């Protein structure tokens, strides 16, 4: 099974003070896709610079030529399908059809209350996501959409000329539970997971692999329910949130071992964070670059 390697570039640098260079360097290193997080602020970076995902990706599209670009992930926390669809169509056009939308239900972080609302319950979050994704799908594939939902509506929303990618840009749907996995099976060209958050702190690599195996099994079942072929669906692991997070980028060999075990599970794309000093994503830049250039070739030896 082939495996691709991608990266996440957090939007913490001013564009003309190293931001642009990171995206250009990612393309030079040969990454399949460079993603960024779509948040208003995030965790330990809350009191520092944090730039918007859509403008950042638009600038990255102009600065690169071949590498795919995307969000990992966008959520309903502060997005509405109508306005998001317009931004995505524009971004897909600027990039020449290189955009992937990573999309998830979101969490209870800073984004959840930034617009002045109370945090949604897990059930409401799931309900909103179940309505958000199909409406966004419709908006990106039809020229004019009217729809009345419980949470999201559209009235004669025009999205002409549509995406460069047809019938629309691909969705990578983040999900771990049965309801989300059914959404991924129905609407996703890819599925995304970061592992099992319940074992993030104290779990073992073996427990993580077993949790991921169960998630993949759930996705396969969800595909079978609707008669979709499971094999060709892309399966993406956002790394950095499993028990190996502190060791997997220590050397090319350590990463090759990690990648091999997860390829055996069925993952087709691994995503690693570009290093950020003095953060949870601190790593040796030279090792990160060697992994980008050498790891996949070593994996196939």
Secondary structure (DSSP) of 208-256 = HHHHHHHHHHHHHHHHHHTT--STTSEEEEE-SSSTTTTTTTS-HHHHH
- 7/196 Cα distance (integer angstroms): 20
Give the per-residue pLDDT at 201: 85
Adjacent-strand bridge partners of 20: none
Q: What is the CATH architecture of 7-237?
A: Alpha-Beta Barrel (3.20)
How does pLDDT run along the chain (301 residues), one tens digit per residue?
A: 799 999 999 999 999 999 999 999 999 999 999 999 999 999 999 999 999 999 999 999 999 999 999 999 999 999 999 999 999 999 999 999 999 999 999 998 889 999 999 999 999 999 999 999 999 999 999 999 999 999 999 999 999 999 999 999 999 999 999 999 999 999 999 999 999 999 988 899 999 999 999 999 999 999 999 999 999 999 999 999 999 998 999 999 999 999 999 999 999 999 999 999 999 999 999 999 999 999 999 998 6
Give the per-residue pLDDT at 301: 67
- 157/138 Cα distance (integer angstroms): 11
Q: Are the CB atoms for 72 and 36 separated by under 8 Å? A: yes
C-alpha distances in angstroms, 39 versus 71, 145, 146, 260, 288?
10, 27, 28, 31, 24
Task: From 12, 7, 147, 9, select the one nearest 85 (Cα to Cα).
Answer: 147
Helix/strand/coil for 137: helix
Task: From 255, 259, 105, 236, select the one nearest 182 (Cα to Cα).
Answer: 105
| Residue with token string 């749907």 | 173
Residue 1 burial by CB count (10 A; 0-12/13-18/19+): exposed, middle or buried? Answer: exposed
Radius of gyration of the chain (CA): 19
- 183/188 Cα distance (integer angstroms): 7
Task: From 79, 82, 95, select the one nearest 158 (Cα to Cα).
Answer: 82
Residue 193 sits at φ, ψ, to 5 deg, of: -140, 155
* CB neighbourhood size of 81 (10 A): 27
- Residue spans per domain, the chain: 7-237
C-alpha distances in angstroms, 154 versus 24, 129, 207?
37, 16, 44
| Residue with token string 């239900």 | 105
- 175/194 Cα distance (integer angstroms): 9
Adjacent-strand bridge partners of 33: 68
H or E segment and range at residue 70: strand 68-74
Adjacent-strand bridge partners of 7: 34, 272
């Amino acid at each position: 099974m082939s495996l691709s390697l991608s990266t996440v570039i957090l939007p913490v640098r001013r564009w003309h003070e190293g931001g642009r260079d990171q995206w250009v360097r990612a393309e030079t290193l040969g990454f399949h896709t460079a993603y960024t997080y779509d948040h208003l602020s995030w965790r330990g970076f809350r009191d520092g610079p944090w730039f918007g995902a859509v403008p950042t990706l638009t600038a990255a599209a102009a600065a690169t030529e071949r590498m795919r670009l995307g969000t990992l992930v966008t959520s309903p926390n502060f997005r509405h399908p109508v306005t998001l669809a317009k931004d995505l169509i524009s971004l897909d056009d600027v990039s020449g059809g290189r955009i992937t939308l990573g999309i998830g239900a979101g969490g209870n972080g800073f984004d959840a209350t930034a617009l002045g609302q109370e945090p949604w319950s897990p059930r409401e979050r799931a309900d909103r996501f179940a309505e958000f994704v199909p409406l966004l799908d419709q908006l990106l594939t039809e020229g004019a959409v009217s729809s009345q939902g419980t949470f999201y509506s559209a009235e004669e929303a025009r999205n002409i000329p549509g995406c460069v990618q047809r019938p629309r840009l691909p969705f990578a749907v983040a999900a771990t539970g049965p309801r989300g996995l059914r959404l991924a099976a129905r609407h996703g060209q890819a599925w995304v997971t970061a592992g099992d958050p319940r074992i993030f702190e104290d779990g073992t690599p073996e427990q993580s692999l077993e949790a991921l195996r169960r998630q993949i099994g759930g996705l396969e079942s969800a595909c079978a329910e609707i008669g979709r072929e499971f094999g060709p669906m892309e399966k993406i692991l956002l790394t950095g949130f499993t028990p190996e997070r502190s060791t997997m980028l220590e050397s090319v060999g350590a990463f090759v071992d990690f990648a091999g075990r997860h390829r055996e599970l069925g993952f087709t794309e691994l995503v690693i964070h570009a290093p950020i000093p003095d953060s949870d994503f601190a790593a040796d830049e030279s090792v990160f670059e060697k992994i980008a250039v050498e790891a996949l070739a070593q994996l196939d030896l």
